[in-house]
Amino acid sequence: MTRTYLDYASTAPLRPESRAAMAEWLRKEEPLRGDPSRSHFEGFAARTALEDSRDRIAAALSVRPRQVLFCSGATEAIATASFGAANRRAGRAHSVVNAVEHTAVTRWADRGESTTVPVDETGRVNVDDVAEAIRADTAVVHLQWTNHEVGTTQPVPELAELCAESESLLHVDAAQAGTQVAGAVASGADLTSISGHKLGGPSSGLLILRKGLRLPPLLVGGDQERARRGGMEDVLAAVGLAAAVEATCNSAVEEAERSRHLCDRLISWADQRHGVSMVGNSENRAPNIVCLTLEDVEPQPVLMGLDSAGIAAHSGSACSSEIGEPSAILQAMGMDAHHSLRLSVGWNSTDSDVSRALDVLDRLLDELSSLRKKP
């Protein structure tokens, strides 16, 4: 069965550029034995590949190489930003988060003193509410670039100015930035966390630091990554990630336009289908994520039906996970947290993918509706 993948917001298929770069690296025997910190041929070869990857990422994101910190993933990048900001200056450990941040952010904030700012019914934060939450001891303000469940984008540039005035750091979770990743880095944030696998690279991550900013390290040990992260670097992941970042930035305009077109088709279908509606902000939204509410329909049979038909999607509710709880994101927005469906597209999605998904959804919803009507 041919599969249709519409769950890019969870993870993206590996880009051919990333696959080719890592395959080429794996064909080289000597560098694979090398520790980038060692002064021998194998070590120099590994160091060269690592720093070349850093240079390429920096060029694609328009930053300096020393601003690029390799991490195991966006979760570690977020943890590094959170820990470093809270321990950077004595007496400034308070943090500000909004109610729809990813748990990788909120659980770090919960470890210390924090203020949670509400969002409106579209999932967007109000700049004035954040300004009111910032205190003299606020170390960091956390703000998503794009919400991972509903696709709403946040007013990052405005809050960057606000944080600069208050001398609080701004950390932007850009795990879902996708084709907008370069824009997220250029938004004025002090710290930007990036997910490699969501860009079509390997399971890895980046933390981009503002020029001149120094943070105490989360992982201590050796002096790798300019003493900012202990532990031997994953050179293979860096090679694959550099290729994915370059490919994403080089094709950003075309990919964003195609993704927006595909998601507009999904939204148009929802507008015409009884019992289905879009959740999120209609103007300030990512081009590749659509969250739908399904009136009186549980997401699990819809997900199972889609999967049986060869279509991968995700419920915005955590009911489909091991947690068995409704979506905290939708609850914070005051929306139905029990009956949602998230569809997300990416670098190799096509019109036929969307057409197939809509045909199956029409059939599934008709079948489930007829079952409800039976006595």
* Euclidean distance between CA atoms 25 and 107, whole angstroms: 37
Catalytic-role residue among 249, 263, 291, 319? 319
One-letter amino acid of 325: E
Q: How far is CA 322 from CA 317, 319, 325, 326, 338, in A?
A: 11, 8, 9, 11, 15
Strand 94-98, strand 138-144: pairing: parallel
Give the angle 356-359-361 at the CA atoms, nearest 5°: 105
Among 326, 320, 335, 265, smallest CA distance to 122 is for 335
Interior CA angle at 212 toward 231 and 109, to 5°?
Answer: 65
Residue with tokens 């794996």: 26
Residue 319 known to be catalytic: yes
CA–CA dist 253, 151 (Å, integer):
18
Q: Which residue has the tokens 């999607």?
A: 313
Tokens 């599969």: give the residue: 3
End-to-end CA distance of the chain: 36
Contacts of 9 (CB under 8 A, 6+ apart): 148, 149, 151, 176, 198, 288, 289, 314, 342, 344
Picking from 164, 123, 166, 153, the residue whose alpha carbon sits closest to that of residue 256 is 153
Range 126-135, long-range pairs (CB < 8 A, 24+ positions)? 127/155, 127/158, 127/159, 127/162, 130/96, 130/98, 130/159, 130/162, 131/162, 133/96, 134/96, 134/162, 134/163, 134/166, 134/168, 135/94
Q: Per the structure block, which two tokens stand in for 30?
A: 């000597």
Catalytic residue annotation = 319
